[in-house]
Amino acid sequence: MSALDMQMYVDGQWHNGVDGGRIQVVNPARTTEIVGSIPDGAPGDVDLAVAAAKRAQYDWSRLSLAERAALVADAGARLAAIDPSGPEALTREMGKILAESVMDFQSSPWVWSHYLNDLDALDKVLTDRQHDDTGRLEVHRRPVGVVGAIVPWNWPIALLGVKLGPALLAGNTIVAVPSPFASLGVLKAIEAIGAALPAGVVNVVTGTGERVGAALSAHPDVGMIAFTGGMEAGRAVAQALGSRLKRGVFELGGNDPAVLLDDVNVDDDLIRKLAAAFTVTSGQVCFAVKRLYVHETLLEEITAKLGDALQDMVVGDGLDPDVTMGPLANERQFKRFTAILAEAEASGAKVSSFGRVRDKASWDGGYFHLPALVTQVRSEERIVCDEQFGPALPIIGFRSDSEAISLVNATPFGLTSSIWTPDLSRAWDLAEHIDAGVTFINKHGMSAFDPGAPFGGVKDSGYGREMGTEGLLEYTWSQQINDRQIYG
């Protein structure tokens, strides 16, 4: 396939960047293959993009909600109808299977539809009107202005979309900085939606986080940052915002537990859901199951059946239609993941790999790893207490509900979690004791999401919310306008 040499998108135009430098994009399934290149952006590019967004925001915010909604709906329709080159570019640059890349592009229109399908409700959220015989009071939710959106490489279009839709509907404009490991897919998405929106409303600056991400976070004309990514980078962004008293929404990943109680139905449906929940995108998803806690009476059965199910996994190039799990996304993540797994094994844990290699001849030329179950592992090992972000699942037994909750909460993370039991009353009671922004019951993963509900974490998993009404309000500030005569 031909290389994709793309440009950044600023003020409705495509640019190579002020410095003219380029970053080569490598295929993680074949590391000798150059997929394409992107501009190596500089702070000057951020300045141009923010200035364009600031100019555009004045007119954009003065459109009626219905007018903005019509343009966002058009953008969503264009994104949903994107040609195959978009998902193919995403798979080639970060590795996940093509079906997941297609879903990445389709998810934004799905999230936006939650807002677009009921504009009356959205209008009431943005303007609270109260009239009585004392006069008139209104609380207007005003747009923040220019929003900086920093998105990672695992689900870049979806994670940009959950920021883009509500921010634009609230009257903001956007400057986005995607990961250099997944900028081609984002730029393909912008190719699709750019024509639907006025120049400057959405801008994309490519490059490294150290250069363009830092410049965006420190820019005085950026009203807030919506960040999804690693904890270390998130803290750096938060510090930059704090020094300017600016706001942020941070989703910093998680070490997400699934808890199987002693009465769970151990059937094929359960095993299939658990296997999918930890191997999606090769385990490189913030809300993937990363710790599995099983009541000790079921530990042996669950482990055996999960291993049997994983034998059907086929690992290889994500563009191959027979492949069910692609490589890890880049060399840094591959080395980190394999080091964590090796540490666990060296400390006495049992690491069992499953599935089959699609192409043995090319295996060593990509960042591939078979899915693995880790048993006989101590809770203090990194693979249990940290976020491994790869296709390995530690399985740990427990004896009581209280012990399970204690084990689940013994981590600095708190993004998503799940409880599995046919006793819904018991599940709901236990859910209230889990330190996580989201707790699913008898489900975990992509199919569990409701775009009308807020998503986000607690503790080191970040703060602020995306999606739902709360996600929309993050991109606004409230102004009270009041002519009431109550006293005197």
Q: What is the CATH number of the domain that holds 42?
A: 3.40.605.10
Q: Encoding tokens for residue 362?
A: 């090319």
Where does a domain end: 228, 253, 278?
253
Q: Choose, from 93, 191, 286, 387, the residue flagged as catalytic.
A: 286
Query: Do 150 and 24 fall into the same domain?
Result: yes
3-class SS shares of the chain: helix, strand, coil, % to 5: 40, 25, 35
Query: Do 234 and 266 fall into the same domain?
Result: no
Q: Choose, from 251, 381, 466, 474, the residue flagged as catalytic.
A: 251
Query: Do 199 and 164 fall into the same domain?
Result: yes
Query: Do 309 and 440 fall into the same domain?
Result: yes
Residue 473 located in a structural domain: no
Residue 13 to residue 9: CA distance in whole angstroms: 6
Whether 228 contacts 202, CB under 8 Å: no
Query: Do 167 and 37 fall into the same domain?
Result: yes
Residue 224 located in a structural domain: yes
Q: Which of 450, 468, 484 is nearest to 125 (CA)?
A: 468
Measured between its terminal Cα atoms, the distance across the chain in Å is 77
Whether 419 contacts 404, CB under 8 Å: no
Phi-psi group of 469: left, alpha or beta (phi > 0 → left; psi -120 to 50 → alpha; rest → beta) = alpha
Half-sphere exposure of 256 (CA within 13 A, CB side): 30
Residue 332 located in a structural domain: yes
Q: Give the number of domains in the chain.
A: 2
Identify the domain containing residue 206 by its residue range: 4-253
Query: Do 274 and 378 fall into the same domain?
Result: yes
Q: Is 286 a catalytic residue?
A: yes
Query: Do 176 and 266 fall into the same domain?
Result: no
Exposed/middle/buried for 479, CB within 10 Å: 0-12, 13-18, 19+?
exposed
Residue 458 located in a structural domain: no
**β-bridge partners, 175:** 148, 203
Query: Do 181 and 97 fall into the same domain?
Result: yes
**β-bridge partners, 259:** 293, 419
- Measure the CA angle with vertex 97, ends 92 and 99; round to 5°: 115
Ordered alpha helix ranges (H), 30-155: 43-62, 65-80, 85-94, 98-116, 119-126
Query: Do 416 and 277 fall into the same domain?
Result: yes
Crossing angle (nearest 10°) for helices 85-94 and 183-193: 160
Query: Do 327 and 374 fall into the same domain?
Result: yes
Task: Look up the CATH number of the domain holding residue 277.
Answer: 3.40.309.10
Half-sphere exposure of 446 (CA within 13 A, CB side): 19
Q: Is 345 a catalytic residue?
A: no
Query: Do 203 and 279 fall into the same domain?
Result: no
Please list the ranges in the chain whose pLDDT falls under 50.
Answer: none
For residue 1, what pLDDT is reported?
Answer: 63
Residue 286 CA to its chain's centroid (Å) = 6
Query: Do 223 and 268 fall into the same domain?
Result: no
Q: Which of 280, 362, 366, 369 is nearest to 92 (CA)?
A: 366
Q: Which of 222, 201, 200, 198 is nearest to 212 (CA)?
A: 222
Residue 373 located in a structural domain: yes
Where does a domain end: 253, 283, 315?
253
Residue 478 located in a structural domain: no
